Structure 1
């Protein structure tokens, strides 16, 4: 099959990580795979090297005027990607997000999670990206249930894979470098934004510091298409009120990330909305104690391998208990769960699903 996988960005976001890993595994299975994406701000390549068996088509997408709104940027993204894409070249056209789904229209769509936008342009794009595709995939049953209840759409459930060996086998020298730089720390990955529960984690850090003053909060990542300046300003003001100075790493080089995760005393995942929780699954692969928000989808995915919390105070309590317990049994169960989620299995399920459509 000639397969096109489409993404909206070359940056290290969960959906982009998913797209590249799936593309490489499909290509390894003998499929003809091309990944299409927008190259924002002059990007000509992805955040990491991609297996040469996968063709790449990165469509230039220069920065717009300073006055461009998020809604305008999204609409321009759809227009630019749609104008460049060549659908007749492929047997399967598979969009991984709202922007690429709008750009190509009738396609297979992976719905990683369901957003709720108030901006009219974004709300309309989100709706079209759900209703226009002719087939749907979800990475969890919880999101598939949302699609069924909200739109009457039946989706195929194909869980994420995880690069288990990459996170489970980080060299001691790399882990020691992060420990020497950061000391003891709780890590979260995803930057500061509402969906990531950043304000709640900040409040949890205040409770945590009262119990363990030497434990810092480290925040990695943060690349996003959306404008969260107001939320970021609220977060910074609250950090100042609480006299907190979390360590802001920003985007971390791809080859440095596994050691950063493995060196953390605990991994915090306070997202208010998720489809799977790939970063949290990578933490399990690394053997790092995990505390997540108590959401049905995260109960489904992580079961007894994680601790669950529903407010800042309980998040702090669970983080302390996770660090102090550091249970070998829970760590072993977490690693087994992560190891069971292979990209090979995900690719095989995708291929079988594609064939039913052809």
Structure 2
């Protein structure tokens, strides 16, 4: 995994001309390492055991001259770990794109998870929660990352066989297909172990779909009472069942309003104001 990431950094660095820009803004640790001095949005913090990746992660935090986070919870983590004080600018969401989507009926009554199969997404715990449910299909959308999760994927497949369940794994989903897939779900599952904001879950709220997330401080901050929470496979299963069997119109309305309040225009304007303070 380390050499693959290092190659990606080298390719990006070779193609980049930093002198042509007043401000360079990196959204991830790979681009932050490639462009060196920059503004960095730290979406969430990872923990790596591979020396090369740990060094890349560290450099992508300490080397940038200005820092942003998309939630106060992650900003606190950065402050506690490195003594930095990032400015918080939440993400936006294209709420209308999901609010007006025609629900897909391709998979019957289904639980949808977006983001692929990987440790940070809590994929195995979601699988275990799904094993406790009946009458629903688990659908997973999303492609691969630069990180090598083949061992985790093999463990996930072994667990599925042990549980006797057969989720539908779609892989990457076209941009125009995703809103209908989200809107057609009976419930959206978001059991991530680490998140910076939870954009995929916010898109589900925009579509009026009930959402179940892991009970993390950052997700409590962003979503409040608009979603249901779980902490382990058993409580996630209970929350998923409750969301499907007892949908709450008031929670759905609050979720739609929350998503609509997070516009990309507002996020862009706040970024522009932030850049002006640097210039």
C-alpha distance in structure 1 between counterparts of 2:188 and 2:245, whole Å: 13
Q: TM-score, normalised by structure 1?
A: 0.77
Q: Hey, what does 1:183 align to over in structure 2?
A: 108
Name which structure has the greater RCO, CA cutoff 8 Å, separation 6+.
2
Of 189, 192, 195, 1:271 maps to 192
Question: 1:332 offset after TM fit, Å?
Answer: 0.3
Q: Hey, what does 1:28 align to over in structure 2?
A: none
Q: Does 2:224 correspond to 1:303?
A: yes
Q: Does 2:119 correspond to 1:198?
A: no
SS in 2 for 1:203: helix
C-alpha distance in structure 2 between counterparts of 1:291 and 1:76, whole Å: 37
Q: Hey, what does 2:56 align to over in structure 1?
A: 125
1:206-254 C-alpha deviation (Å, 9 max, x unpaired): 1112xxxx21100000321111011111110110011000011111111
C-alpha distance in structure 1 between counterparts of 2:183 and 2:264, whole Å: 21
Q: Which structure 2 residues correspond to residues 32-43 of structure 1 after superposition, within 5 A? A: none
Q: TM-score, normalised by structure 2?
A: 0.99
* Cα RMSD for the two superposed structures: 0.7
Question: 1:83 offset after TM fit, Å?
Answer: 1.6
Question: 1:155 offset after TM fit, Å?
Answer: 0.3
1:245-273 C-alpha deviation (Å, 9 max, x unpaired): 00111111110000100000000000000
C-alpha distance in structure 1 between counterparts of 2:143 and 2:111, whole Å: 17
Q: Hey, what does 2:76 align to over in structure 1?
A: 145
Q: Hey, what does 2:166 align to over in structure 1?
A: 245
Of 72, 81, 100, 2:31 maps to 100
SS in 1 for 2:67: strand
Q: Hey, what does 2:263 align to over in structure 1?
A: 342
Unaligned regions of 5+ residues in structure 2, if any? none
C-alpha distance in structure 2 between counterparts of 1:204 and 1:280, whole Å: 18
1:39-87 C-alpha deviation (Å, 9 max, x unpaired): xxxxxxxxxxxxxxxxxxxxxxxxxxxxxxx111111111111121011
C-alpha distance in structure 1 between counterparts of 2:60 and 2:214, whole Å: 27
Q: Hey, what does 1:71 align to over in structure 2?
A: 2
Runs of 4+ in 1 over 6 A off after TM superposition: none
Unaligned regions of 5+ residues in structure 1, if any? 1-69
